[in-house]
């Protein structure tokens, strides 16, 4: 699971980061830099499913790996 910090005031979203703690660091940095340390309205830290390699992606990678091994076996096999 990765996370993104989103500032609704600036209509800006951070790059996805690995942890919620890292997203909070993005939040602090953004507040300090863009809002002089003030808390902007409508900001949030959101889970980012789009950039997460979850179990679905891992299963797909294993499946593709098996298919490649099987194809190689058929080509080089008896
Ligand atoms: Zn902002």
Which whole number is the average pLDDT over 27-40? 97
Give the pLDDT band of residue 49 (cuts 50, 70, 90). confident
Cα 40 to ligand 1 centroid, rounded to whole Å: 6
User: How much is the pLDDT for 22?
Assistant: 96
Which whole number is the average pLDDT over 60-74? 84
pTM (global) more than 0.75: no
What is the chain's mean pLDDT, rounded?
88
| Residue 54 in this model has a pLDDT that exceeds 60 | no
Q: Which strand (E) or helix (H) includes residue 74? A: helix 55-76
Cα 34 to ligand 1 centroid, rounded to whole Å: 6
Cα 71 to ligand 1 centroid, rounded to whole Å: 52
């Amino acid at each position: 699971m990765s996370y993104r910090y989103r500032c609704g005031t600036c209509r800006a979203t951070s790059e996805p980061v690995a942890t919620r703690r890292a997203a909070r660091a993005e939040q602090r940095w953004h507040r300090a830099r863009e809002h002089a340390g003030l808390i902007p309205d409508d900001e949030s830290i959101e889970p980012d499913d789009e950039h997460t390699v979850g179990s679905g992606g891992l299963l797909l990678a294993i499946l593709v790996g098996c298919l490649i091994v099987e194809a190689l076996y058929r080509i080089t096999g008896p």
